[in-house]
Amino acid sequence: MGAKPDEALKRPNGWRRLRQAVQILALLLFLYLLLGAHEGDTAFLPRDLFFRLDPLAGLSTMLASRRWVASMALGAITLLLALAVGRAWCGWICPLGTLVGWIPGRRPPPNSSDMPSYWRQGKYLLLFTILLAALLGSLTLLILDPITLVFQTTASVVLPGLASKIADLDQSLYDVEPLQPAVERFDAFIQDSPLTEQSFFLPSLLVALPIVVILALNAVRPHFWCRYLCPLGGFLGLVSKVAQIRYQVDEAKCTSCERCVSVCPTGAIDPDENFAANASECTTCLDCLDACPEKAIAFRGQWGLVPKVPQDPSRRRFLVSAGAAVVGAALLWAFPFVNKAEAQLVRPPGASEEELLSACIRCGECVNVCPTDAIQSSYSFAGADGLWTPMLVPRLGYCDYSCNSCGQACPTGAISKLTLEEKRRTVVGIARIDRERCIPYAEGLNCIVCEEMCPVPKKAIRVDEQEVEGPNGDTTVVFLPVVVEDQCIGCGICEYRCPVNGESAIRVFPVS
C-alpha cells in the first residue's frame, strides 16, 4: 500500500525548490544564448555552450568526421559530472528534461507493475544506433539529441512563428486608427529584439513534431523520454554505473511507506529490491530526499562499482540492443529515402555536401544567427541522410554580401569559418532566368531589379538591349537580363528581389 503523492509533497521540499531554481536558471541561460546569438551578442559566453557541453553530439561528430573537434571537447565535463553525481545533468540542467518535467505525467495506479524493464533498453538502443551511424559517417540521428531538439525547434519554429504571428497582429491592429500610437510604440520597443518580423519557412513546422510527441508521451509515463528513449540519458546512464555519489537507502530506517517510489520521476526506485535505486535511471533530482519521512535516503560517496540491480540489462539484452543498433544503422545507410537527383540543395557558403552530412549536428545555430533568414532547416528535403541540415531559401532571404555569420556560429565547423573576402568569392549556386515569366522577356516592359541588386563588383547579370514596338507604334528599348555564369555566386538577392508574384522569375540552383 503506497502513500498518496500529495502527502509526500507536504513534506519538506528544500531540495526540490533548489533543483527547480537551477533548472529555470539553466533554461534561462539556454534561451539567453539563443536569443543573444540571434542578435549577435552573447556577452562573454560561447553561444553554442550547451552543444559544446553535449558529449553525445561531440563524440558523434568526432566519429563521423574522423577528426578531433576541439570545440566539442567540453562534453568531457558533462561525462565527469556523471562520473561524480550520476545523471544530474538530466535532473538539473538539460533544457528538454526541464520541459518534460513541466508536463504532468500519468503515474501508474498503485499495485500495477511498471513498464516491462526492457523498455529501459530503448535509450541504449538509440545511443548505439546513433554512434554506429556516426561511425558510418552519418549524423542524421542527432535530431534525437535533446539539446538539438530544443534549440532547432526554438530557432526554426517557435521564434520565427512567434515573430510572424506578432507581425500579422501588428498589421491588423495598425489598421485600427486609435491603436496606431500604441502599435508604433510597441514596434519601437521590439525593434532590436528577435521578435521583429521573420520569414516563416512552412516545411520547418514539422521540425517541431518530435518535441511535441516527446512531451505527449508523458501521458503514458512521467518523463517517458528520459526513462526510455533519450540517447544522451543513455550515455550518461552508462557512465553513472560507476558514479561516485549515489542514492543509498538505510534499510534499517525504511518503513516501506513507498513515498520515494511515488515521487521518483523516472521510477528508478524499486520497491521489490528493498527500495534500492538504479544508478542509470536516477537523475539525482533529490525529490526522494525531501519525501522520505524517516530520513532513510542519502546521496553519498561510494567507491567502486554499483552492485547489480535487476533493472540492469543482462548480457543477452545488451547483445540484442547492440544487434538492433547495427541493423538500424545499416538500414539508414542503405535507404537514404531520397531521390539523389533531386537531393541537391543550395547550402550556406563554406558548407560542402560531404562536410554537412558528417559534421553537421543539426543544432540550428546557423538558422538562428542568419540575419536575413536565408538559412532554413531543410527538414527532409535532403533525404534521411541529411535531416535538418541547413539550406538557403533565397525567396525568404538572400545571403548578405557583407555577412559571414553562419560559419562563425557553427560549433563543429560543418560550415567553415570564412573571412568576408573568402565568403564573397564562394559560389553556392547559380542563378537562372525563367524567360517565360521574367517581365522584360515575357511582357516587353523594363524591370532588371535583379541586375540592379547584384552585389558582385563586376555584376553577375548583364543586360542585352532590345527594341520593342509599343501599342502606339513607337519603339522603346527594353533591357533583357542575362546571367554571367562565371561571376554568379548564388547569393540569391536577385531571386529575393524579383517583383514577379509567386515563384521568382530568376532562381538560384545548386551547382552540379
β-bridge pairing 461-469 and 475-483:
antiparallel
Q: CB nearer to another protein: give 254 or 468.
A: 468
Q: CB nearer to another protein: give 85 or 448.
A: 448
* Cα 262 to Cα 281: distance, rounded to the nearest angstrom: 15
Q: How many residues bind another protein, per CB under 8 A?
A: 28
Q: CB nearer to another protein: give 169 or 216.
A: 169
Which of these ranges, 45-53, 178-186, 208-216, 256-264, lies near another protein under the rule CB under 8 A?
Answer: 178-186
Shortest Å, Cβ 499 to another protein: 4
Name residues whose C-beta falls within 8 Å of residue 29's C-beta, 6 or more positions apart in sequence: 49
The 3-state DSSP class for residue 268 equals coil
Binder to another protein among 11, 241, 432, 497 (CB under 8 A)? 497
Shortest Å, Cβ 505 to another protein: 12
- The full 3-state SS of 66-120, as one line of letters, equals CCCCHHHCCHHHHHHHHHHHCCHHHHHHCHHHHHHHHCCCCCCCCCCCCCCHHHH
CA R_g for the chain? 28
Of 407-466, which residues contact another protein (CB under 8 A)? 445-449, 451-459, 463
Binder to another protein among 31, 499, 509, 511 (CB under 8 A)? 499
Which of these ranges, 53-61, 273-281, 324-332, 396-404, lies near another protein under the rule CB under 8 A?
Answer: 396-404
Please report, as a single letter, which amino acid is at residue 259.
R
Q: CB nearer to another protein: give 193 or 256.
A: 193
Q: CB nearer to another protein: give 244 or 446.
A: 446
Name residues whose C-beta falls within 8 Å of residue 59's C-beta, 6 or more positions apart in sequence: 75, 131, 134, 235
| Sign, Cα dihedral of 203, 205, 209, 211 | positive
Q: CB nearer to another protein: give 323 or 499.
A: 499
Q: Is 402 in the site for another protein (CB under 8 A)?
A: yes
Q: Is 468 in the site for another protein (CB under 8 A)?
A: no
Of 102-161, which residues contact another protein (CB under 8 A)? none
Q: CB nearer to another protein: give 229 or 450.
A: 450
* Cα-based angle 351, 352, 353 (whole degrees, multiple of 5): 120
Please report, as a single letter, which amino acid is at residue 340.
K
Of 181-210, which residues contact another protein (CB under 8 A)? 183-184, 187-188, 191
* Cα 164 to Cα 162: distance, rounded to the nearest angstrom: 6
* Cα-based angle 214, 220, 225 (whole degrees, multiple of 5): 35
- Residues in the site for another protein, rule: CB under 8 A? 174, 180, 183-184, 187-188, 191, 400-402, 445-449, 451-459, 463, 479, 497, 499
